[in-house]
Amino acid sequence: MYLKILCLVTFLYASPGLSFKPVVLIHGIMTGSNSMEMILHRIKEKHPGTIIYNVDRFESWSSLETMWHQVLEIGQDVANISAKHPEGINLIGYSQGGLVARGIVQTFSNITIDTFISLSSPQAGQYGAGFLHLVFPGLVKDEVYELFYSRVGQHTSVGNYWNDPYHQQLYETYSVFLPYLNNHLQSAESQNFKNNLLKLKRLVLIGGPDDQVITPWQSSQFGYYHGNETVVEMKDQAIYKEDLIGLRTLNESGRLHLVTVPGVNHFNWHTNVTIVDNYLLPYLD
Ligand SMILES: *[C@@H]1O[C@H](CO)[C@@H](O)[C@H](O)[C@H]1NC(C)=O
Ligand SMILES: *[C@@H]1O[C@H](CO)[C@@H](O)[C@H](O)[C@H]1NC(C)=O
Ligand SMILES: *[C@@H]1O[C@H](CO)[C@@H](O)[C@H](O)[C@H]1NC(C)=O
Ligand SMILES: *[C@@H]1O[C@H](CO)[C@@H](O)[C@H](O)[C@H]1NC(C)=O
Ligand SMILES: *[C@@H]1O[C@H](CO)[C@@H](O)[C@H](O)[C@H]1NC(C)=O
């Protein structure tokens, strides 16, 4: 018996490539698949044999196309990838790509994701000059709701997750994406959105206080402003307390991991090798 176990252990250690699930990477806004190459190479180096798909749709300016469009298009690719790997795949999205990725996880019932890692993504929305000025340098955060909360404003990805704490009624009236994905507003898909998120084996939400672009940075872990610019953490938000999309159930079954890393600017999460080593690789098996 002892010998058998020893042999099995040796076998597992000697053939690491067999055990790593394929990984899908989704890039951030105004960039493309190139920006994810450090992560790709590092995973291949440390977990040899891993098959990696680096999404090259919606690069550069087309990353501003609507969130639902991106979710449905990239989701078809991921569904095809998933069909090829019935044992399950892992998904990593950076910045806006992490919100596209969550849209895919919650929308597609025919995708089997083992671990989904959201790397500094505006999961609860965005209200800050940092992100806004990446794309629209001339706009002012406390006035931009007039643009985003309109039919036309909803034609950009950023408008789809702009969450102005001072104009919640307009957000609920006009935003076609985030309030629905978060089951803040009910739709025919609400139950499906929750069921699909609950199929994850692990949800890892990475973010940090020195991000300077995701505002508030706690949005990377479902914390957000409430009423004014005072941040309310995830555990005290309705989305968690009322288990609207399954976050509380995920946590109670040990599947939700909040990872807070200080000292990382938004533009360094995907270029900093210690982030991959310490916070991505341990979850990729
Ligand atoms: C998915 O796979 C099907 C069947 O192989 C193919 O017809 C379709 O074009 C693929 N879709 C995408 C988005 O790659
Ligand atoms: C996955 O489901 C979507 C509809 O939700 C469908 O359009 C797509 O063809 C399916 N893809 C695969 C590979 O089963
Ligand atoms: C923000 O709202 C919270 C709770 O509603 C309140 O306690 C706090 O005083 C408010 N802060 C400001 C600056 O208005
Ligand atoms: C998640 O679960 C852990 C362990 O059960 C618990 O300590 C933690 O407080 C929970 N997190 C939240 C946000 O409730
Ligand atoms: C890289 O990440 C580590 C945390 O893993 C952090 O302490 C360090 O400041 C980061 N460096 C840069 C340049 O972002």
Q: Whose CA is nearest to atom 5 of ligand 3?
A: 227
pLDDT at 18: 59
Which of 166, 224, 226, 228 maximizes ligand 3 atoms within 8 Å of its Cβ, making it the mutation to test the pocket? 228
Q: Which residue has the higher pLDDT, 132 or 225?
A: 225
pLDDT at 273: 98
Q: Is 268 in the pocket of ligand 1 (CB under 6 A)?
A: no
* Exposure class string for 182-216: b at 16+ Cβ within 10 A, else e: bbbeeeeebeebbebbbebbbbbbbbbeebebbbb
* Exposure class string for 13-28: b at 16+ Cβ within 10 A, else e: eeeeeeebbbbbbbbb
What percent of the chain is predicted at pLDDT more than 70? 94
* Exposure class string for 126-154: b at 16+ Cβ within 10 A, else e: bbbbebbebebeeeebeebbeebbeeebb
If pLDDT is split at 50, 70 and 90, which confidence band does 226 have? very high
SS (H, E, C) 7-61: HHHHHHHHCHHHHCCCEEEECCCCCCHHHHHHHHHHHHHHCCCCCEEECCCCCHH
Average pLDDT over residues 244-254: 98
Whether the full predicted model's pTM is greater than 0.95, yes or no, is: no
Average pLDDT over residues 16-30: 87
Q: What is the mean pLDDT of the chain?
A: 94
If pLDDT is split at 50, 70 and 90, which confidence band does 19 have? confident
50: pLDDT strictly greater than 60: yes
6: pLDDT strictly greater than 70: no
16: pLDDT strictly greater than 60: no
10: pLDDT strictly greater than 90: no
Q: Which residue has the higher pLDDT, 19 or 187?
A: 187
How many angstroms is it from 232 CA to the middle of ligand 3?
11
pLDDT digits (tens, 9 = 90+) for 178-217: 999 999 999 999 999 999 999 999 999 999 999 999 999 9
Average pLDDT over residues 91-104: 98
Closest ligand to the CA of 82 = 2
Domains annotated for the chain, with CATH where assigned, are: 3-125+187-224+232-283 (3.40.50.1820)
